[in-house]
Amino acid sequence: MLKPRNSHGKSVWQGLAHVTFTFVTLRALAIAPAAALAFARRASACFDFVSLRFIALSVRLFRAASSCHSDASVSFPVNDRSSFTRGFSMAFSRLLSGLSGACRSLFSHSLVRHPSVADSFSVRPAVRPAARFAAAFTLAGAALTTPLAHAEDHVTVLTNWYAQAEHGGFYQAAATGIYKKYGLDVTIKMGGPQVNGMQLLAAGQADFILGYDFQVLSSVEAGIPATTVAASFQYDPQGLMTHDDVKSLADLKNKTILVAGSGRTSWWPWLRAKYAYTEAQARPYTFNLQPFFVDPNVVQQAYPSSEPYQAQQAKVKTHFFLFADDGYPPYNTTIVTMQKTVKERPDVVSRFVKATMEGWKSYLADPAPGNALIKKDNPDMSDGQLAFGLDEIRRLKLVTGGDASTLGIGTMTDARWKKTDDYMVSEKLLKADTDYKAAYTLQFVKDTKVMP
């Protein structure tokens, strides 16, 4: 590399090098002392020149710092490693950009106003090393403004049931490396009938759970600071399965309706009020389809991917009616976390939401990778049921319908949450003074924009 022959030219290079070195080292000492000291020892030998080697060392320090920082007091949120890295990189890249511009201006000015400057370099004009120096800083700035390699953030998500097609987007994002692409190491744990997801979330046993609006609103009412950050399904898949003689939900006046315990505090008050059904019609649903199979006067609650499939396998003809088609307001398969997580780790939440919605888009296009992981977690899940479930998700547009068609997968709106709150309050399922807006936030879905 060409070097200045006189002390004036050399001092320019060293001055810029020292400015950069000082900025990098002092900021890094507060974050990764060991890495900073190691860098300082190596960089001290480079002060006789400024080259891409020096810039490379700076970048390596930042990579090290981003993966081993502590909770030292700095001017941006250190509780979130990615926010820290991005803020640190932005600050340094601004310095590099300024130095690069100053360098170009300095040497352009020197060559025009002071031709003797060019004579201080050997053989070739001064513009050559100057351009190289400017390019080095520009390259470093570009490198630091792109996502830096850093240790992946570990995230645990707890589903709301045994692994199935309704969880496809999460498993797909894990199987295809989408979570990895966003710097996330995601562990998916299955829920089930005996798993209290909200309790585990509040206890810190999971970072996210798959929930539903009523659950979160009731938790907020009870003083549990949970909040919803995205909605995988634009509609609650809950509905009724009937025999094929029933033409609409309004045709159930003389039918026995099987309702599970959870349904009595969610959809049953809505259905009963909407169609003037009576409590005398309701009977417990035990998740056994035999009463439905043997009695044509029985209708029962169902999920489109589950009970209708079992009926199909038993060669029983049915109709399925989605409550959302008649105005039932809540979202479903929502991503729920604690408000503390939203406050302290917003970048992790944002990346998890974005990656999951990309997972859903990928799953709808080619479900094979996600299905393989689903079957690994839930060996009882058959290929046939997975295919049937995905067909229903597509047919009902649970992921891509409603506001998602224009605002992106995972979106939510204030209007929908207000409708759910109004319904719960009117049916005395929620106290009127509950702060329903604490049960959700739109800050992560408004900019996600994963279009169907």
pLDDT tens digits, one per residue of 1-31: 444 444 444 454 455 555 555 555 545 544 4
Q: Torsions phi, psi of 154, nearest 5?
A: -80, 135
Question: How much is the pLDDT for 60?
Answer: 52
Answer positive or negative: Cα dihedral of 108, 113, 114, 118: positive
Nearest to 321 by CA among 249, 273, 263: 249
What type of residue sits at position 64? A
Q: How confident is the model at residue 388 (pLDDT cuts 50, 70, 90)?
A: very high
Dist CA 168 CA 372 (whole Å): 10
Residues written for the chain? 452
How high does pLDDT run on average in the chain? 80
342 pLDDT higher than 50: yes
What type of residue sits at position 37? L
CB 84 within 8 A of CB 72: no
Question: In this structure, are strands 153-158 and 256-259 parallel, antiparallel, or unpaired?
Answer: unpaired
What type of residue sits at position 68? C
Question: How much is the pLDDT for 20?
Answer: 55
- Mean pLDDT, residues 285-307: 96
384 pLDDT higher than 50: yes
Q: Three-state SS for 30?
A: coil
160 pLDDT higher than 50: yes
Q: How confident is the model at residue 447 (pLDDT cuts 50, 70, 90)?
A: confident
Q: How confident is the model at residue 428 (pLDDT cuts 50, 70, 90)?
A: very high
pLDDT, tens digit, for every residue of 249-287? 999 999 999 999 999 999 999 999 999 999 999 999 999
- Mean pLDDT, residues 319-347: 97
Dist CA 41 CA 19 (whole Å): 16
Sequence-ordered alpha helix ranges (H) in 222-367: 267-275, 290-294, 307-313, 339-344, 346-365
87 pLDDT higher than 80: no
Show Cβ contacts of residue 162 under 8 Å, excluding neighbours closer than 6 positions.
190, 191, 192, 377, 378, 380, 381
pTM: 0.69
CA distances, 237 to each of 27, 58, 82 (Å): 51, 52, 35
40 pLDDT higher than 70: no
* String of DSSP letters for 101-120: HHHHHHHHHHHHH-THHHHT
Question: How much is the pLDDT for 193?
Answer: 87
Q: Torsions phi, psi of 312, nearest 5?
A: -60, -45
The better pLDDT of the pair 55, 162 is held by 162
Q: Which of 47-51, 98-102, 365-369, 428-432 has the lowest mean pLDDT?
A: 47-51
Question: How much is the pLDDT for 72?
Answer: 36
pLDDT, tens digit, for every residue of 63-74? 444 444 433 333
What percent of the residues of the chain are helix, what percent strand, and what percent coil, each to the nearest 5?
55, 15, 35
CB 293 within 8 A of CB 236: no
Nearest to 406 by CA among 449, 448, 440: 449
CB 420 within 8 A of CB 329: yes
Dist CA 316 CA 440 (whole Å): 41
CB 179 within 8 A of CB 185: yes
Scanning the structure block, which residue is given the tokens 């894990």?
Answer: 174
57 pLDDT higher than 80: no
352 pLDDT higher than 90: yes
- Segment holding 212, helix H or strand E: strand 208-212
pLDDT, tens digit, for every residue of 105-152? 444 444 444 444 334 333 344 444 545 544 444 444 544 444 444 578
